[in-house]
Amino acid sequence: MPRSVLLVDDEPNIAFSLEYLMKRDGYEVRVAGDGEAALDSIRAQKPDLILLDVMMPKRDGYDVCQTVRADPRYADVKIIVLTAKGGALDGEKALALGADAFFSKPFGLEELSCRVKELLAESPGDDG
Amino acid sequence: MAERWSLRLRIFLFFALVGLGGLALFAGALVLAGARIGPEATPHLVLAGGIGGLGLLVLTAWVWQLFDENVARPIMLLSGELSATAEAKSTAARLSTDKARYLGALGPAAAGIAEALGRERSTAEGAVKAAIDEVLAEKAQLEAVLRDLRECVLICNLEHEILLYNAEAQRLLGLDAQIGLGRPLFRLVTEQPVRHALDRVKLRFADGRHRTHHDYLSVAVVCATRDGRLTLQGRLSLILDAAGDAVDGFVLTLRDATQPIADHAARDHLLKEMLEGLRRPTANLRAAAEILSGGMAPDAKTQARFVGVMTEEAETLARRIDRLAGAYNELRIGGWSMNDVTAIALVACARDRLADLPELELAHAGADCWLNCDSFSVVEMLALFCREIAGATGVGRIEIAATPDGGHVFVDLVWQGVPLGESAFEPWLNRPLVEGLAGLTARDVLLHHRTEIWSERVGPDHARLRLPLQPAVEDHVSAPASELPARPEFYDFSLLRRRAAGKMAETPLTELACVVFDTETTGLFPSAGDEIVQIAGVRVLNGRVIRGERFDRLIDPGRRIPAASTRIHGITDAMVADQPDARAVLPAFHDFAADAVLVAHNAPFDLKFLQLKEGLIGRRFDNPVLDTVLLSAHLFGHGAEHTLDALAERFGIGFPEGQRHTAFADALVTAEVLCMLIPVLNARGVRTLGDALAVSDEAVAIRRKQARY
């Protein structure tokens, strides 16, 4: 069974590229356009990894990250935070709230692809 | 004529007239009686007349004597005492009225007047004393304010001489002790901009335009330190005389604008680079995209080339953005409100803001630590967070700790319980903090400090809200304390009306600017290769030692210091090993002594060392020179002892414990001796520098003659 990736970004242009990339790498991809939708989607079906943009309407990426981490059922879900903020502290905050990695936009797709692969290799997945 | 005679003389003459007149009448009456009776009566008449006349004279003399004793002398005494009371400044005016007991009410009346005068005087004296006390208290407050002001303040007269400077001015401009009372301003800061500002505002005053000008008598000024180290920004304001119709001087307030100006330039540069740097790759990207998407239908090979162009340009853009983001994060957080503050101070202020929540305990935890922030808005924000945390979690105690880590200082609000969700404190961030801050929110404060805030678990049962802030800009831990003495002599307003610089020789000794100095050396023979190992000086201005304006340096003599010399001054080879040499130190001393009279005890000795170095440093020590040995010889005679110890003892001046034969202590004692000598010289008619130089020459001649024998 392919590993599943939840892509959370309200910008369709980057979502389009990332969805394409993740599918190319052989993952099952779901897309959510805001924080609420992302949490609903996670509750409906637990993904192996979340690509999470920070700046979103309703609940932002930090909020989603913290909410997911607060639930022990999702302890093994990997989270990569994507941020367009350029501040030195944004990454620090993401990691403090439980993210496994963070990327500042603009980032290279191949670099992201590698990191996703590495993180998923750390967790064996439900089907072992 | 008769008006100038004393009262007693006039009364004596009056009685004399009565006596002699009575005698004449008596004699006349007897002569008449003798003519009527006949010659046989003559012997009887002469006898009776002699007895009667003598009796009359004795009676008159006796009455005169009583009158003199009890009326004339008491009146003289009383009038003398009255005029003495009027002249005297004493308030204890008591008249000796017992001698005036025969003068009726005059004595008590005079005593009454004197007493009333005394009462009046003591009231006036009390009022004067109170007024002086008040002025002194105000002066002390003003001194404290000036001393601690973080703005550099200089007050100058119209000759651009410094009358006042504060600690910040000394810190900012005081390199190599160039700053000093009575010293030219333009040795510290660039002349043209200040002169221009001064001319502008003087013209405004002369035209009377200041009355309606919104800046009144002040004008903005931007100048630099003379060495170009710092750019200074501030204001220049005129000082008028008491009547307000003439200019006495001006106040210059300056701030170091070097960093803000550099920050501003860096910001501008970054913005320009961003616009220009993004424009080109974006243009390239857009052109390629249009060709690919438009109806131009290039062949497959060309298409592949355009895709290559797009990839390349996209990468260029990404790199450039990363670089700009890095440069932006490097920029200092600007704004006038950023200041260094301690964590403890922040907590104390936040506690004050929470005074209405007595049930909430707010404590500082861990070590204290300096950080840089806009303390006002940060305190408001911390108080808001505490209030909301207490409201949301019900905790009764919050600890605030500040920990430096990496490039930040993390301010943590720690409480027992679980972390706050992002969505829980999001609303707090968007609410206006306080009235009167233009609706400033915590979000705005975070943005201004370029920081984020989050809540996380710490330990098994505690949570914290993390607020990363910038570390302090200045080094508060190892920064040296100001060298100004507790009560610095950093102003002298008598300079305000100093006459236009005349010939130095005509300057009264009491108005002289002197540098009193002393050297310690490797030995006693400058011409035979002995060198200076220590030089120190202190300024004396208007007959006052300015202890804060000192020069004190060790010098590497470039040769060994003989043990015999080390025994005297205590300076060893090791102490001077890494010190600058004479070539570096003496020009600085030359600057320190510029425009001043050089004074030393046995000046020829110290001066010889300096003069031998004139070629080396390319400057001449051509200041007028006074020698306390010669001045003392003139005053106390050539037979007396004129060693520094003898003079210090004569004037009751003590050396600091164990400091005799350090250059600075010796210079300081010589300076104090000089200040004692000046009034004595004045009393002996030696009033100006020229006079002092003349008597010194005489003293030299006499000593030279003495040396012959």
* Chain A CA closest to residue B424: A63
CA distances from A123 to A73, A78, A118, B219, B632 (A): 14, 8, 9, 70, 96
Give the per-residue pLDDT at A128. 40
B149-256: CATH number: 3.30.450.20
Residue in the block written with tokens 């008249």: B95
Give the per-residue pLDDT at B145. 77
The predicted-structure confidence for B138-170, as pLDDT tens digits, reads as follows 877 777 777 777 888 898 988 898 888 888 888
Is the pLDDT at B390 greater than 90? The verdict is yes
More confident position, A27 or B184:
A27
The predicted-structure confidence for B589-638, as pLDDT tens digits, reads as follows 998 888 889 999 988 888 888 988 888 898 888 888 899 988 988 888 77
Asked whether the beta carbons of residue B452 and residue A88 sit closer than 8 angstroms, the reply is: no
Contacts of B454 in chain A (CB under 8 A): 62, 93, 96-97
Q: Chain B within 8 Å of A97 (Cβ-Cβ)?
A: yes
**Contacts made by residues B113-118, CB under 8 angstroms, sequence distance 24+:** B113/B82, B114/B81, B114/B82, B114/B85, B117/B85, B117/B86, B117/B93, B118/B85, B118/B90, B118/B91, B118/B92, B118/B93, B118/B94
Give the per-residue pLDDT at B388. 92
The predicted-structure confidence for B56-92, as pLDDT tens digits, reads as follows 899 999 999 998 888 888 888 888 777 777 766 555 5
* Chain B CA closest to residue A88: B329
Tell if the pTM clears 0.90, that is, is over it: no
Q: Chain A within 8 Å of B468 (Cβ-Cβ)?
A: yes
The predicted-structure confidence for B260-276, as pLDDT tens digits, reads as follows 888 888 888 888 888 88
What average pLDDT does this structure show over B668-693? Answer: 90
| Contact in structure between B383 and B400 (CB atoms under 8 Å) | no
Asked whether the beta carbons of residue A92 and residue B317 sit closer than 8 angstroms, the reply is: no
Give the per-residue pLDDT at B385. 93
Give the per-residue pLDDT at B485. 44
Q: Which of B317, B408, B452 sits opposite A90 (nearest CB)?
A: B452
B505-708: CATH number: 3.30.420.10
Q: Which of A59, A70, A89 sits opposite B452 (nearest CB)?
A: A89
Distance CA B659, CA B669 (A): 10
Q: To probe the interface with B, which of A93, A110, A112 has the most B CB atoms within 10 Å?
A: A93
Q: Chain A within 8 Å of B320 (Cβ-Cβ)?
A: no
B338-471: CATH number: 3.30.565.10
Distance CA B661, CA B643 (A): 13
CA terminus-to-terminus distance, chain B: 65
The amino acid sitting at B174 is G
The predicted-structure confidence for B543-562, as pLDDT tens digits, reads as follows 889 888 889 999 999 899 98
Q: Chain B within 8 Å of A102 (Cβ-Cβ)?
A: no
Give the per-residue pLDDT at B92. 57
Q: Chain B within 8 Å of A36 (Cβ-Cβ)?
A: no
Give the per-residue pLDDT at B487. 43
Q: At what angle do helices B689-708 and B628-636 cross, to 10 degrees?
A: 80
The predicted-structure confidence for B34-44, as pLDDT tens digits, reads as follows 888 888 888 88
Q: What is the ipTM of this complex?
A: 0.88
What average pLDDT does this structure show over B426-453? Answer: 85
Contacts of A39 in chain B (CB under 8 A): none
Q: Please provide the average confidence, as pLDDT, over all residues in chain B.
A: 85
The predicted-structure confidence for B398-436, as pLDDT tens digits, reads as follows 999 999 988 899 999 999 999 998 888 888 998 888 766
The predicted-structure confidence for A43-102, as pLDDT tens digits, reads as follows 999 999 999 999 888 888 999 999 999 999 999 999 999 988 877 788 889 999 999 999
Q: Which two tokens stand for residue A101?
A: 């990695």
Is CATH 3.90.470.20 the classification given to domain A4-122?
Answer: no
Q: To probe the interface with B, which of A66, A71, A79, A107 has the most B CB atoms within 10 Å?
A: A66
Q: How far is B266 from chain A (nearest CA, A)?
A: 18
* Sign of the CA dihedral running B680, B685, B688, B694: negative
Q: Is B601 designated active site?
A: no
| Contact in structure between B400 and B465 (CB atoms under 8 Å) | no
CA distances from B652 to B139, B509, B627, B634, B641 (A): 30, 22, 20, 20, 15
Is the pLDDT at B1 greater than 60? The verdict is no
Is the pLDDT at B493 greater than 80? The verdict is no
Is the pLDDT at B180 greater than 80? The verdict is no
What average pLDDT does this structure show over B444-466? Answer: 91
More confident position, B329 or B123:
B123
Write down the domain spans for chain A: 4-122
Asked whether the beta carbons of residue B451 and residue A92 sit closer than 8 angstroms, the reply is: no
